Amino acid sequence: MGVEIQVEHLTKSFGKQVIWRDVSLTVPAGEICVMLGPSGTGKSVFLKALIGLLKPEEGSIVIEGTDIATCSEKDLYEIRKLFGVLFQDGAMFGSMNLYDNVAFPLREHTRKSESDIRDIVMEKMDLVGLVGAEDKLPGEISGGMRKRAGLARALVLDPEIVLFDEPDSGLDPVRTAFLNQLIVDLNAQIDATFLIVTHDINTARTVPDNIGLLYHKHLAMFGPREMLLSSEEPVVRQFLNAQRVGPIGMSEEKDATELAAEEGQELPPLPPIALQLEPSNGIPRRSQREPGEWCRQNGITPPPGSFRPEAAVLSG
Ligand SMILES: Nc1ncnc2c1ncn2[C@@H]1O[C@H](COP(=O)(O)OP(=O)(O)O)[C@@H](O)[C@H]1O
Ligand SMILES: [Mg+2]
């Protein structure tokens, strides 16, 4: 069914280095959220905090009434069963074929018979379009196939929440487009809560129901896709439109001199908001909304040309 994740006033540091502070957001049950942010802003750290691999110093992460930030190891063990995680590189065991990689969590965490395991593994391989590749080793297949195999493994315990750490890293634009469609289809089919960390602007603009942006040690904004895509807030606008003009600099925040040099520089208009990617399997998504609904309800005029089938998707 998918469950909600409620994050409140979360702060994470390593020693004296604050990664982010006072992060509050609710990942709604069954919806797709994308978390964006420049490299090194703590997106992976955020995912690890959600599954209890890293302890935040302050704040709470409540899932089904349990606070991950403070609960016992025993409760954490139970809560973790709700999660499926697709790590950045697929995190496959190189010496095991895809079948054994996908079967691994079932053999580790359940007492299912090998014949039940076979049914589940084949079902998940089918979901991600990998039937026939069971005997391949991770090193023998393309990056796109490895991601899909990692996804099959993330789904094998029927998670309520699926976390994706840069599923599109290292993939070409066409493979990314296929993977994005697969993610949207899977969300409709298994009805779990999806949280995707990425810095792919196309993915962020077309896949999720909600977008968050981590920047400069805090959550700059979090909300419905249309809210961020129509936002004039400088950091959000710069990042979601992949522009140089704005507060984000080459390696960190721009300083006062750099910003002064940009004074008066004309910003390009906001591009049209593309339609959200729809499931290709005919299954409606639980969180499906009318295009433009958020803008209408909030009295925001979307950029011209928005929500037309041909509305351009940013090409980067
Ligand atoms: N286990 C750790 N111990 C100390 N520092 C860490 C640890 N994990 C991550 N960091 C630091 O936290 C910061 C954010 O890392 P990360 O979450 O990987 O960024 P992102 O995924 O956004 O690129 C980096 O400066 C990184 O060095
Ligand atoms: Mg990362």
Encode pLDDT of 265-276 as tens digits.
Answer: 777 889 999 999
The 8-class DSSP code of residue 140 comes to G
Query: Of the bound ligands, which one is closest to the alpha carbon of residue 166?
Result: 2
Pocket test for ligand 1, best of 23, 44, 48 (most atoms within 8 A of CB): 44
Contact 92, 150 (CB under 8 A): yes
Answer with the residue of higher pLDDT: 312 or 226. 226
Q: Report percent pLDDT > 70 for the chain.
A: 96
Q: Which atom of ligand 1 is nearest to the CA of 166?
A: 21
Q: What is the whole-number distance in angstroms between the Cα of residue 34 and the centre of ligand 2?
A: 13
Helix H segments across the chain?
43-50, 73-80, 98-109, 114-127, 143-155, 173-190, 201-206, 225-229, 234-240, 256-262, 293-297
Q: What type of residue sits at position 203?
A: T
Ligand 1 mutation pick, 11, 19, 36, 50, max ligand atoms within 8 A of CB: 19
SS (H, E, C) 202-261: HHHHHCCCEEEEEECCEEEEEEEHHHHHCCCCHHHHHHHCCCCCCCECCCCECCHHHHHH
Q: What's the rounded mean pLDDT across residues 228-253?
A: 83
CA of 230 to the centre of ligand 1 (A): 30
- pLDDT, residue 312, reads 53
Strand bridging mode 218-224 / 210-215: antiparallel
Residue closest via CA to ligand 1's atom 25 equals 40
For the whole model, what pTM was predicted? 0.92
Domains of the chain with CATH codes: 5-82+159-259+269-297 (3.40.50.300)
Residues with a CB atom less than 6 Å from ligand 1:
14, 19, 37, 39-45
Q: Tell me the C-alpha distance between 152 and 136, whole Å.
A: 14
Q: How far apart are CA 8 and CA 60, in angstroms?
A: 5
For residue range 167-204, what is the model confidence (pLDDT) as tens digits?
988 888 888 898 999 999 999 999 899 999 998 889 99
Compute φ and ψ for 196, nearest 5 degrees: -115, 120
